[in-house]
Structure 1
Amino acid sequence: MFKKILFLLTILVFFSCNSSKKYVRTTKKTPPKTNKSVATKKPVTTKKPVATTNSNSNGRQEVIESTSKTVVYSDVVFNYVNDFKDIAKGNMKTYGIPASIILAQGILESGAGRGELAKNSNNHFGIKCHTGWTGETVHHDDDAAQECFRKYKDPAESYKDHALFLTGRSRYASLFQLEKDDYEAWAKGLRKAGYATDPKYPEKLIGYIERYNLHQYDAEVLGNNFVPSEKSNKPIQIADHQVGNLYEVQKGDTFYSISKKFNLTVDELKKKNNLSDNTLSIGQKLIIK
């Protein structure tokens, strides 16, 4: 009897062991979970780099030579006009100088803001020190080596001083007898009164006025109808997506294209915005002034 019981227990233990081994095998055959689902659900980056392009500045090339020789493209001139047209119109209302003449002189004398005298001293009209000037000065090669020029805190101060310079000197008095929309007479009168020694000075001013339709601002101030010049390059273009000193990055923008749009170098643009890499994001706000 005892042997039978022992035999039955042995059989039970044997089948029990086999049963547990099968259970372990089935769990091993179950494939382990992988991380594939995690890999397909990577977080979406909110700031995507804008694709870089090799686009150059648009428009014809201008070689501007007055207080310094500067080579710019027409889009630089358009942006310069956009920056200072309101000041020019304000000075026309206050002092009686045609806005077209103010802007044309600014373009020529400052190299559309890119000449050395404009960059180093905010002098946009090539005004020399002259007797009685008590402000800051800078020396620059012009008709002679290292001539004394006025230095300003900002371009707006230069624009105001230009107006005071013309209205405060008797040799320019005859200009104010001319019609305010006669930019050709004003350009010739400035040369005749001795503002510049360049014999082609009137021709250059008139050329800028007609190519960039600067006389449209005279018409705005005087309330006259404006007729675009047949010699114009294209209508005045205002930089889109610019609000004050900020520009909102658009699709397709690059550091190069933005810097050219606002008359900056890429390094200057990055420095203004404390940026070190080449990543831009659509909608990003950049300081451009």
Structure 2
Amino acid sequence: MANALILGGTYALLGIGLTLILGIMKVVNFTHGELYAFGGFMAYFFVSVLHWNFFLGLAAAIVLGIVLGGCIERVLLRRMRDADIDSTMIVMIGCWIAIQNLELLIWGGVGKAIDTPFPAEPLVIGGVSVSWLRVFVLGAATLLILATWLLIHKSRLGKAMRATFQDRDTAALMGISTNSIYTATFALGSGLAAAAGALLGPVFVVTPTMGNLASLKAFAIVILGGLGSIQGAALGGFILACAEELGAGYISSGYRDAMGFVIIILVLMFKPTGLFVRGERIG
């Protein structure tokens, strides 16, 4: 279950980022998984290629994820603001393919390992043995989740984002720049995806295709937690991770990913609005 907690934290980051973008912008963000991969590759570049301090390298990867997300929204999505959903989806699929192939061109298809400063000896708590790296990943993911919650609920930007989610036209009449809110929303969601990739990159390896499954899991978490619910996305991430670990432990490791999607199918059948959503809201 220790592994489930660690994976759950990063899954929650993916889910929260996507639920913000889907809820506020009504955009099906097919680039979400590639922004996750981008975070992993940037962490590898700063830490293992440029030999920056590990923690500084991860922070830089997250910042670049925010910047890339803001650029995608400003250059592509703003031009598609009044377009139909089919056109927007095609543009986002094209952006996903372009980013993935650019990563493949630059880094090649071989997995990249990220150097870490943590000792090889595991931390032993009771009868549970866990690596120091995984403890750091869980702690960092938890802090980022709390920081996002505080941003949404306690800051002026968060209030503007929630107002835009509830009624874009009324928010605009009240003086909120919805274009700026959309850019901030997509940048924040992208930064959370990049953070998940930067944190999990040192645990596993970084590859150009690592975002494919991550994107599917992010959509699954949003469905599980309920659109617009940050708490639901966070809990959905942990539930999905627990389901995967239980499936791998008690059935077969080959069914790790399948178990999570079985839960999603059941949720869509019996509670299609998600397990935790209460009305239309971001919060």
Question: Which one has the bigger helix percentage?
Answer: 2
Q: Which has the higher strand share?
A: 1
Larger radius of gyration: 1
**Structure with bigger RCO (C-alpha 8 Å, 6+ apart):** 2
TM-score by length of 2: 0.24
